[in-house]
């Protein structure tokens, strides 16, 4: 018999989930009294009380600093709120796609994922808590708004303080936690070690994932880079090489708004339905549940299908390996053939991380006014503020330019897009307004 205690607390006003869960500095979770407890209670409060007794909740994370403390709190708070069955990863570890898969397989009511994804971990890094629903996908805005509303009025939470779960079972495992202090982010900047290893020419295929295994980067021999917007287009164009799609057929394709139009070209040529969604995987889930979507991707290294309701880095790499096995060509040959057949969308993304929030908001507001000016009609440059940062604001600038002139399709994207980048920086006055001289990361 364990004791249930009700603890008086003060609500916080800043527990609004972003693009993918609540992400804050570890210190925010550690130093503010009941900060994590409040948010966990708010999540559990959205689960219908009548369902809790029979419900299963899946819990897992990417192993970063503070994860184990958070899992103990989830166990204690879930039990005190009448959740009867938790499924937790060994040592607490489960990738985001694995949690999505387990929720679906076990018909769980949902899952809590302890990760700040590609953001750095460690005591001075970031921590994050995501909530996924019974479809296996990230909670839609209706539910995240409800969680936020509850958090803003929370006066107490329920907890079984003596309950302790031993997460370490049989066997011995060693792994480096907190990603060696680096960004666990699969892109050319943060996965430079892999890029350099590939440049040696010793390997034909390289792949990297983020902290929670939902993002992926694909590289060919000599470090040949596959842009994520192209990656999903290649999978779409080679859909018959993938055993899963042979079985299920292809219901439709989708990409997030800032992702390049490479997938659109494939959809048009192969007469498949294409959908455009806002940024964030939760928006694909609705289409999948409606039986309208089989394959989708985001420019931010996210690729996946309707086998689960999250992006799945490992699945994407296996899809590429299936294509390589069928076509018996190199990554570079496959990519070049693709551009010759469909034309090429030159794409780049500039990230300006942790800029002053007020300057960023002001810039976005002024841009909106400018865009409604008739002289801007017909030009396509996208600016967004990130919803996954933990401090200040992150500005993202996306540029996409289609080219089907065979003389030009093999050029360097940064060279091809330089004139458009110039226009974007001029129009937005981004550098002047933020005091930056260049982006933190270029994709």
- Shortest spacing between CB 111 and ligand VG1, in angstroms: 14
Work out whether 62 is an interface residue with ligand VG1 (CB under 6 A).
no
Nearby residues of 287 by Cβ (< 8 Å), 6 or more positions away: 252, 254, 275, 277, 293, 296
Work out whether 279 is an interface residue with ligand VG1 (CB under 6 A).
yes
Q: Is position 305 annotated as part of the catalytic site?
A: no
281 binds, among Co ion, ligand VG1, none (CB under 5 to 8 A by kind): ligand VG1
Work out whether 111 is an interface residue with ligand VG1 (CB under 6 A).
no
- Shortest spacing between CB 290 and Co ion, in angstroms: 25
Q: How many residues of this chain interact with ligand VG1, rule: CB under 6 A?
A: 18
Instruction: Please select the residue that binds Co ion; options are 212, 299, 306, 312, rule is CB under 5 A.
Output: 212
Binders of ligand VG1 in range 391-420 (CB under 6 A): 396
89 binds, among Co ion, ligand VG1, none (CB under 5 to 8 A by kind): none
Work out whether 185 is an interface residue with Co ion (CB under 5 A).
no
Instruction: Please select the residue that binds Co ion; options are 214, 298, 312, 351, rule is CB under 5 A.
Output: 214
Which window, 152-160, 189-197, 279-287, 333-341, contacts ligand VG1 (CB under 6 A)? 279-287
Q: Report how far apart, in Å, the C-alpha atoms of 204 and of each of 188, 201, 238, 387 are.
A: 17, 7, 19, 35
Work out whether 300 is an interface residue with ligand VG1 (CB under 6 A).
yes
Work out whether 231 is an interface residue with ligand VG1 (CB under 6 A).
no
Residues 48 and 380: their CA atoms lie apart, in Å, by: 44
Question: Of these residues, 20, 42, 95, 117, which one is catalytic?
Answer: 117
SS (H, E, C) the chain: CCCCEEEECCCCCCCCCECCEEEEEHHHHHHCCCHHHHHHHHHHHCCCHHHCCCCEEEEEECCCCCHHHHHHHHHHHHHHCCCCEEEEEEEEECCHHHHHHHHHHCCCCEEEEECCCCCCCCCCCEEEEEEEECCCCECCHHHHHHHHHHHHHCCEEEECCCCCCCCCCCCCCCCCHHHHHCCCCCCCCCCHHHHHHHHCCCCCEEEEECCCCCEEEEEEHHHEEECHHHHHHHHHHCHHHCHHHHHHCCCCEEEECCCCCHHHHHHHHCCCCEEEECCCCHHHHHHHHCCCCCEEEECCCEEEECCCCCCCHHHHHHHHHHHHHHHCCCHHHHHHHHHHHHCEEEEEEEEEEEECHHHHHHHHHHHHHHHCCHHHCCCCEEEEECCCCCCCEEEEEEEEEEECCCCCCCCCHHHHHHHHHHHHHHHHCHHHHHCCCCCCEEC
Residues 171 and 357: their CA atoms lie apart, in Å, by: 47
20 binds, among ligand VG1, Co ion, none (CB under 5 to 8 A by kind): ligand VG1
Work out whether 390 is an interface residue with ligand VG1 (CB under 6 A).
no
Instruction: Please select the residue that binds ligand VG1; options are 12, 15, 17, 20, rule is CB under 6 A.
Output: 20
Question: Which tokens belong to 154?
Answer: 């929370």
Work out whether 228 is an interface residue with ligand VG1 (CB under 6 A).
no
- Shortest spacing between CB 95 and ligand VG1, in angstroms: 10
Which window, 57-65, 78-86, 277-285, 365-373, contacts ligand VG1 (CB under 6 A)? 277-285
Work out whether 351 is an interface residue with ligand VG1 (CB under 6 A).
no
Nearer to ligand VG1, 245 or 301 (CB): 301
Work out whether 310 is an interface residue with Co ion (CB under 5 A).
no
Q: What angle do CA 234, 239, 242 make, to 5 degrees?
A: 110
Work out whether 135 is an interface residue with ligand VG1 (CB under 6 A).
no
Q: What does the per-residue mask of binding to ligand VG1 show for 175-214, with x meaning CB under 6 A?
A: -----------------------------------x---x
- Shortest spacing between CB 404 and ligand VG1, in angstroms: 27
Instruction: Please select the residue that binds ligand VG1; options are 89, 136, 302, 304, rule is CB under 6 A.
Output: 302
- Shortest spacing between CB 213 and ligand VG1, in angstroms: 9
Range 10-23 burial, b when 16+ CB lie within 10 A, else e: eebeebebbbbbbb
Residues 227 and 155: their CA atoms lie apart, in Å, by: 47
- Shortest spacing between CB 337 and ligand VG1, in angstroms: 27
Which window, 65-73, 101-109, 164-172, 385-393, contacts ligand VG1 (CB under 6 A)? 385-393
Which residue do the tokens 């994407």 mark?
316
Q: What does the per-residue mask of binding to Co ion show for 92-131, with x meaning CB under 5 A?
A: -------------------------x--------------
- Shortest spacing between CB 216 and ligand VG1, in angstroms: 10
Catalytic residues: 117
Applying CB under 6 A, which residues contact ligand VG1? 19-20, 117-118, 210, 214-215, 256, 279-281, 298, 300, 302, 386-388, 396
Applying CB under 5 A, which residues contact Co ion? 117, 210, 212, 214-215
């Amino acid at each position: 018999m364990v004791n249930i205690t009700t603890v008086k607390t003060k609500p916080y006003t800043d527990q609004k989930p972003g693009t993918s869960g609540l992400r804050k500095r570890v210190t925010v979770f550690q130093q503010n009294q009941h900060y994590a407890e409040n948010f966990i209670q708010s999540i559990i409060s959205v689960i219908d009380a009548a369902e809790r007794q029979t419900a299963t909740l899946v819990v897992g994370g990417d192993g970063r600093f503070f994860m184990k403390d958070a899992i103990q709190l989830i166990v204690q708070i879930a039990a005190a709120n009448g959740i009867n069955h938790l499924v937790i990863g060994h040592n607490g570890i489960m990738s985001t796609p694995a949690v999505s898969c387990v929720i679906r397989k076990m018909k769980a009511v949902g899952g809590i994922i302890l990760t700040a994804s590609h953001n750095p971990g460690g005591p001075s890094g970031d921590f994050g808590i995501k909530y996924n629903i019974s479809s296996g996908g990230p909670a839609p805005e209706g539910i995240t708004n409800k969680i936020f509303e509850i958090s803003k009025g929370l006066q107490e939470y329920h907890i079984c303080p003596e309950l302790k779960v031993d997460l370490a079972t049989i066997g011995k495992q060693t792994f480096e936690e907190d990603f060696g202090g680096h960004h666990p982010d699969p892109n050319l900047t943060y996965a430079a070690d892999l890029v350099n290893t590939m440049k040696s020419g010793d390997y034909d295929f390289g792949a990297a994932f983020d902290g929670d295994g939902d993002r992926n980067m694909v590289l060919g021999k000599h470090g040949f880079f596959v842009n994520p917007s192209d990656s999903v287009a290649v999978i779409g164009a080679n859909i018959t090489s993938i055993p899963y799609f042979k079985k299920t057929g292809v219901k439709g394709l989708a990409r997030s708004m800032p992702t390049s139009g490479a997938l659109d070209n494939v959809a048009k040529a192969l007469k498949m339905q294409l959908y455009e969604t806002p940024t964030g995987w939760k928006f694909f889930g609705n289409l999948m549940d409606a039986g309208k979507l089989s394959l989708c991707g985001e420019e931010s290294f996210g690729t996946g299908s309707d086998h689960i309701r999250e992006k799945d880095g490992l699945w994407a790499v296996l899809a590429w390996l299936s294509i390589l096995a069928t076509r018996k060509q190199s990554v570079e040959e496959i990519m070049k053939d693709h551009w010759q057949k469909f034309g090429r969308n030159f794409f780049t993304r500039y990230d300006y991380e942790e800029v002053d929030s007020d300057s960023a908001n002001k810039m976005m507001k002024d841009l909106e006014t400018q865009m409604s000016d008739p002289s801007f009609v017909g030009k396509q440059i996208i600016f967004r503020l990130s919803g996954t940062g933990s401090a200040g604001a992150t500005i993202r600038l996306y540029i996409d330019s289609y080219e089907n002139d065979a003389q030009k399709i093999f050029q360097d994207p940064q060279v091809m897009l330089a004139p458009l980048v110039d226009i974007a920086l001029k129009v937005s006055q981004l550098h002047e307004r933020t005091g930056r001289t260049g982006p933190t990361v270029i994709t």
